[in-house]
Amino acid sequence: MIKELLSNSCDYDTGSPEFISKTEIKRIIMEAVRGRLESDGVTVAPVIIRRRLMYDATTGEEWLIGPELEPVECEGPLIVEGRHKMKDLPNGNTVMEHPERTHLDRAIYNAMTGRCERAFSPDDINVLSAGSKSLISALNQAGYEKGGFELGQEMPSFQFGDDRSEDGELPPTRLYLHRTDLLSLQMVADLVNSGARPDYGKLWVPYNQEGPQRYRQDTLILGFSEYRDLKETIELLRERFSWDDGACIGAGETLYGLKVAGIPGAYIGQTKYGGDSFNGEMTQYFEEAIQCSCEDIKQPQTGEVLTDEWLDAMARKTTDILGSIMSKNGRTTHHALIDSDMTADLIKLASSVQ
Domain definitions of the chain by residue range: 1-33+102-354, 46-101
Beta carbons of 68 and 51 less than 8 angstroms apart? yes
Residue-by-residue DSSP string for 282-319:
HHHHHHHHHHHHHHHSPPPBBT-B--HHHHHHHHHHHH
**Sign of the C-alpha dihedral, residues 172, 201, 104, 25?**
positive
pLDDT in tens, 287-308: 899 888 988 888 888 878 778 8
Beta carbons of 160 and 200 less than 8 angstroms apart? yes
Residue-by-residue DSSP string for 170-196:
SSSEEEEETT-TTHHHHHHHHHHHTT-
> CA-CA distance, 56 to 74, in Å (whole number)?
23
Beta carbons of 193 and 138 less than 8 angstroms apart? yes
pLDDT given at position 5: 31
Q: What's the Rg (C-alpha) of the chain?
A: 24
Beta carbons of 193 and 105 less than 8 angstroms apart? no
> In 3D, which of 229, 321, 245, 223 has the Cα closest to residue 20?
321
Question: How is residue 254 annotated by DSSP?
Answer: P
Mean pLDDT by 10 residues, the chain (354 residues): 35 67 80 65 79 93 91 79 85 90 78 82 92 94 87 84 78 84 86 93 89 83 93 92 61 72 88 84 89 87 82 90 89 89 91 73
> What's CA 214's distance to the chain center, in Å?
15
pLDDT in tens, 25-77: 887 787 767 666 566 667 777 888 899 999 999 999 999 889 999 998 888 77
Beta carbons of 200 and 140 less than 8 angstroms apart? no
Beta carbons of 71 and 48 less than 8 angstroms apart? yes
Task: Indicate the SS3 state at residue 238.
Answer: helix
Question: How is residue 145 annotated by DSSP?
Answer: S
